[in-house]
Amino acid sequence: MTQNTNATQACAHCGRPIPLTPRYPRRICDACQTLLTDAAGRPVEFFNEDAFGGIIGFYAGTGQQEPYPQLDCQIGSAKFQAQEGRFGGVVVEAVD
């Protein structure tokens, strides 16, 4: 069975169309990832730890010098969680 490469799903935060990824149905778009904060409203960002995997968070604007020790994050009152993608990269999904 061939997957339609033009298929899309809605960003779980803003609703804009993003490429379909059935494994991550509640993921958010790259633009929304730039809006992620900790519970106090401080911006955070996530990266792969190294070429072999893993995920690590930092407070944005610190030059990756100040670690953010959690994977939970938010945009306003909406809750999200960062995770390592199956084939690398970072995926952020909405949580209930």
Whose tokens are 């960062």? That residue is: 82
DSSP H helical ranges for 1-96: 30-33
What residues have CB less than 8 Å from 45, skipping those under 6 apart? 33, 34, 36, 57, 58, 59, 60, 68
pLDDT averaged over the chain? 93
Query: How many domains does the chain fold into?
Result: 1
Q: Is residue 79 part of a domain?
A: yes
Q: Give 3-state DSSP helix, strand, coil % of the chain, rounded to 5.
A: 5, 45, 55
Task: Give the range of the structural domain holding residue 70, as residue numbers without chain letter.
Answer: 32-94
Query: The pTM is what?
Result: 0.88
pLDDT for the residue 51: 80
How does pLDDT run across 46-60, given as a tens digit for each residue?
A: 999 888 878 999 999
Q: Is residue 6 part of a domain?
A: no
Closest CA to 54 of 37, 35, 67: 67
Q: Is residue 12 part of a domain?
A: no
Q: Is residue 84 part of a domain?
A: yes
The band of 86, judged by pLDDT with boundaries at 50, 70 and 90, is confident
Q: Is residue 8 part of a domain?
A: no
